[in-house]
Copies of this chain bind each other. A is one copy, B any other.
C-alpha cells in the first residue's frame, strides 16, 4: 500500500511508532521535535535528527553548498530550541556522489561550522558515503533544564496561541525561485529567507519556555503545528486568520507568483519560527524580555475542534506539508 493511501507521512510515523517503550529513562520518544531522556539531576538529554535530500530540501543551482550546510544545522537547532533546550553536539552524515568536488564538501562544512559556532555546537563526527543523489543527515544532541522542557502536549484550555516572527517566508521564496528559475538580482530579497532559513536562538527558546505551556517549531506550516499541539494536548484550537503574521516581502512575493500568502503561512514549511501556547498573564511577563511574537489564536476544549476563523467564518485547518501528500 502506498504511504499516501494510509494518510501520509504522519500516519506512517504513527504506524511504526506503535512499539511500547519500557525504558523508564525515556521522557519523550517519537512524536515531538526532539526526544528527551533522563540525563543528570537537573537536566534532560535532547536528541533530534533531520535528513535533507537533493531536489526536495535543497536544489543545486539555487542553494550553495554553504547554504545547504547552514540549513542542515539550523533545522536541527530549531528542533532543540523549540523544546526549551540548548544544542550541544552534532553528527553529520553525507551521501555524496562519485564526481562530488572536494570544494563542495568544504563549502558545505564551512556552512555547518558557521551555524554551529553561532549556536555553540561542536561537530563530533559522522559518516561519509556515496550514492546517486545528495542526502545529508544531521543529528543534534542538546540538553534542557528539567524545569524548562516544553512538549507539544502541554497546552491548556484558555491558553493563547502565539508564533514568533512571521510566517510563509520560506515558501514565498520557493515560489519565486520556481517562477523565475535563476537567481536574478531583482528577486534576491524575496528568496533570502528560503535559501538562508534561520533557527531561533536557545536564549529565545528558553525565554519563551519560562512562560509557555507547549512549544513546537514551524517546519510544516502553522496549521500542521497547531494540529500537533492539539492532538498531543487533547485540546481544540481556533486560529484567527487575520492575526497570522506575514511580512510585506512575503505578501509581495505572493502577489508576484499569484499565490495566497496565508496559504504559505498555514501550509508551507521550514520557517523555523516557534509556535507556543501560554496564559495571557504569562504573555505579559514574556513581553518584558521578548517581544517578537504575535497572538494568532486560542486553545479550546477538544469538542470545539481545530478551526480557522476568517471574516467571522469557521474554516477547516487542512493539513501541513507532507512529503508523501
Interface-lining segment among A121-129, A189-197, A227-235: A121-129
Contact of A23 among B15, B40, B122 (CB under 8 A): B122
Contact of A127 among B17, B49, B125, B141 (CB under 8 A): B49
The minimal Cβ–Cβ distance linking A148 to chain B, given in whole angstroms, is 20
CB <8 Å contact, B3 and A124: no
CB <8 Å contact, B105 and A49: no
CB <8 Å contact, B30 and A106: no
- Closest Cβ neighbor of A22 among chain B residues: B122
Contact of A124 among B26, B50, B105 (CB under 8 A): B26
CA distance A30 to B141 in the complex (A): 15
Given A37-B89, A51-B135, A89-B47, verify A128-B2 contact (CB < 8 Å).
Answer: no
CA distance A92 to B124 in the complex (A): 18
Interface-lining segment among A5-13, A176-184, A271-279, A304-312: A5-13
Cβ–Cβ < 8 Å partners of A19 in chain B: 113, 123
* Further pairs besides A52-B129, A53-B129, A93-B137: 9, Cβ < 8 Å: A2-B102, A3-B96, A9-B128, A26-B122, A29-B124, A34-B125, A45-B45, A54-B131, A91-B139
10 cross-chain pairs, A with B, having the tightest CB-CB distances, nearest first:
A35-B124, A53-B131, A135-B135, A139-B139, A51-B93, A137-B137, A130-B323, A49-B91, A30-B125, A16-B109
Cβ-based interface call for A56 (8 A):
yes
Sort chain A's interface into a size bin. 35 or more
Cβ-based interface call for A289 (8 A):
no
CA distance A113 to B103 in the complex (A): 39
Chain A interface (Cβ < 8 Å from any Cβ of B) = 1-3, 5-6, 9, 12-13, 15-17, 19, 21, 23, 26, 29-32, 34-35, 37, 39-40, 45, 47-57, 89, 91-96, 98-103, 105-106, 109, 113, 122-133, 135, 137, 139, 141, 323-324
- Closest Cβ neighbor of A133 among chain B residues: B132
Contact of A29 among B16, B21, B105, B125 (CB under 8 A): B125
CB <8 Å contact, A125 and B49: yes
Cβ–Cβ < 8 Å partners of A29 in chain B: 122-125
CB <8 Å contact, A30 and B124: yes
The minimal Cβ–Cβ distance linking A9 to chain B, given in whole angstroms, is 6
